[in-house]
Structure 1
Amino acid sequence: MMKKAIALILMGCAVAVSATAYAAGDTADINMASGAQPGAEAKSSMSHGEVKKVDTAAGKLTIKHGPLENLDMEAMMMVFKVGDPAMLSELKVGDKIDFVAEDVDGVLTVTQLQKQ
């Protein structure tokens, strides 16, 4: 009698685990069927800002910016490292810019930039 009870419990657990795995697989298929990966759109969208300081020696840029959706940040003024120091060559204080900032190895870095 005890062996039957244990066997039934084990079978119940196996069925529950299988159902969970099957449901998770279905969800993954639905997400991939749409053709979009989560966050792909937010990552490629540019934010708007105004240049407040250009520090070519340090490779940094101070920007007063609107919300950074891909980083889940509110509008504020902050300092960013630039991915390519050449980005700084044609910028001056007061320039309006569109840019993409990303977390690169724990450092907020401007990876794309264009003047408006």
Structure 2
Amino acid sequence: MKTATALLSLGLLAACSSPTDEQAAAQTTATDPAAPASPAATAAKSASANGVVEAVDTAAETITIAHGPVPELEWPAMTMTFQASDVDLTAIRQGDRVSFEFTSSGMDGTITAIARQ
């Protein structure tokens, strides 16, 4: 009987001290960069940048741009591929200097406007 009471007490104590799902997710995200971010952290943000076109794939509706830093998003200069399904890429060529506006969700970007410089 004492063993059953002790086990029940330990089980209740463990249940009361377990983090909530929200706390566990926050702890996992803080310690595991591959863990999914919270909805607020992945909300789409708008930004603009300048860069040089590395590749254009009109069939896949993507464009790869080596762009400068993006202070609004605290991004360093880098080369990345953006989705571009809502813009006309037919006049954009590899090597073109461009200015562009985009939305980002995490490290995924979608071009909303682009112009050759």
When normalised by structure 1's length, the TM-score is: 0.55
Correspondence for 1:98: 99
Contact 1:52–1:94, Cα closer than 8 Å, also in 2: yes
The Cα offsets for residues 56-110 of structure 1, whole Å up to 9 and x where unpaired, read as: 0110000000012222211010100014142x11010000000112126984111
Relative to 1, partners in 2 of residues 1:106 and 1:95: Cα closer, same or farther, differing over 3 Å? closer
> Which structure 2 residues correspond to residues 14-93 of structure 1 after superposition, within 5 A?
43=46, 46-86=48-88, 88-93=89-94
The whole-number CA distance in structure 2 between the counterparts of 1:105 and 1:74 is 14
Q: How many residues align?
A: 73
Superposed CA RMSD: 2.3
State the identity as a percent: 35
Listed as ranges, the gaps of 5+ residues in structure 2 are 1-45
Q: Distance in 1 between matches of 2:90 and 2:102?
A: 18
More helix by share: 1
Q: Which runs of 4+ in 1 moved over 3 A?
A: 104-107
Q: What SS does the corresponding residue of 1:92 show, helix, strand or coil?
A: coil
Check whether the contact 1:82–1:111 (CA below 8 A) recurs between aligned residues.
Answer: yes
Name the residue aligned to 1:114: 115
Report the TM-score when normalising by structure 2.
0.54
Of structures 1 and 2, the larger Rg is shown by 1
The amino acid of 1:108's aligned partner reads G
How far apart in 2 are the matches of 1:74 and 1:57?
A: 29
